[in-house]
A and B are shown apart, each in its own frame.
Chain A
Amino acid sequence: NAGVTQTPKFQVLKTGQSMTLQCAQDMNHEYMSWYRQDPGMGLRLIHYSVGAGITDQGEVPNGYNVSRSTTEDFPLRLLSAAPSQTSVYFCASSRASGGSTDTQYFGPGTRLTVL
């Protein structure tokens, strides 16, 4: 298993540009989520999904869109990039069944710089 994969690893955008951060998992996990990590801070939840076709907002959703058409993929779209969105973005997935499998698995992160 590849686990959780994210592309690209690095990205530089100009203010106002749009782009999509890709996230995929091959563990058949129902839950997927996106976080951002600003310097010196912990991870903050942007959006999450409990299954294909179902998404909801997290703590810091403004400026981002998500959709979940398949179990495997959960892309994050930046509509009009702003310097305040300069951050490291993490995607994570976990099972819905709870118990010993209720653990989030994280991708390697995407470092985004908006000029």
Chain B
Amino acid sequence: AQTVTQSQPEMSVQEAETVTLSCTYDTSESDYYLFWYKQPPSRQMILVIRQEAYKQQNATENRFSVNFQKAAKSFSLKISDSQLGDAAMYFCAYLKANAGKSTFGDGTTLTVKP
């Protein structure tokens, strides 16, 4: 079974600084996808960034980027120029290709200090 581990229950960053959230996963599959979701107090699951396992290039979305290390099974999220609106719970998720079900980590609560 796949597992996803987020080892940082809480992280804090100063506004305009950079922060990195860690995620490791375990799988024997070769075709899969990795995601970072943001969950604000409203509880809505908001997709932040998506990475296909077969792509070596790290995904980027504006201020958000990932460091995908397939051999090490590591998938960290870097948030640059942090903003107050980035404060939320962040979840790392694994999705096996063509399976329709994800495995989630337990989340990291990000606090942004003004």
- Interface size range on B against A: 20 to 34
B84 located at the interface, meaning its Cβ lies under 8 Å from any Cβ of chain A in the complex = no
Which secondary structure characterizes the binding site on chain B? loop
Which secondary structure characterizes the binding site on chain A? strand
Known: A48-B101, A58-B101. A103 touches B43 (CB 8 A): no
Known: A102-B33, A103-B50, A106-B45. A43 touches B97 (CB 8 A): no
Candidates B6, B33, B103, B105; contact of A103 at CB < 8 Å? B33
Chain B residue with Cβ nearest A32: B100
Across the interface, which residues of B come within 8 angstroms of A35, CB to CB? 104
Across the interface, which residues of A come within 8 angstroms of B99, CB to CB? 31
Candidates A41, A49, A58, A111; contact of B107 at CB < 8 Å? A41
In contact, A33 and B101 (Cβ under 8 angstroms): yes
Candidates A41, A44, A102; contact of B95 at CB < 8 Å? A102
Candidates A32, A41, A108; contact of B43 at CB < 8 Å? A108
Across the interface, which residues of B come within 8 angstroms of A102, CB to CB? 33, 95, 97-98
Mask, B61-80, CB within 8 Å of A = 1, is 00000000000000000000
Measured in the bound complex, the distance between the Cα atoms of B17 and A3 in whole Å is 34
B106 located at the interface, meaning its Cβ lies under 8 Å from any Cβ of chain A in the complex = yes
Q: How far is the CB of A38 from chain B (nearest CB, A)?
A: 10
In contact, A98 and B98 (Cβ under 8 angstroms): yes
Q: How many residues of A are in contact with the other chain, CB < 8 A?
A: 30
Measured in the bound complex, the distance between the Cα atoms of B66 and A11 in whole Å is 38
In contact, A98 and B97 (Cβ under 8 angstroms): yes
Scan residues 79-114 of chain B and give those whose CB is less than 8 A from a CB of chain A: 91, 93, 95, 97-107
Q: How far is the CB of A12 from chain B (nearest CB, A)?
A: 17
4 A-B pairs with the lowest CB-CB distances in the bound complex, closest first: A31-B100, A42-B104, A106-B45, A43-B104
A-B contact pairs, 5 of them (CB 8 A): A32-B100, A33-B102, A48-B100, A102-B33, A102-B95
| Chain B contacts to A: CB under 8 angstroms | 4, 6, 33, 35, 42-45, 47, 50, 91, 93, 95, 97-107
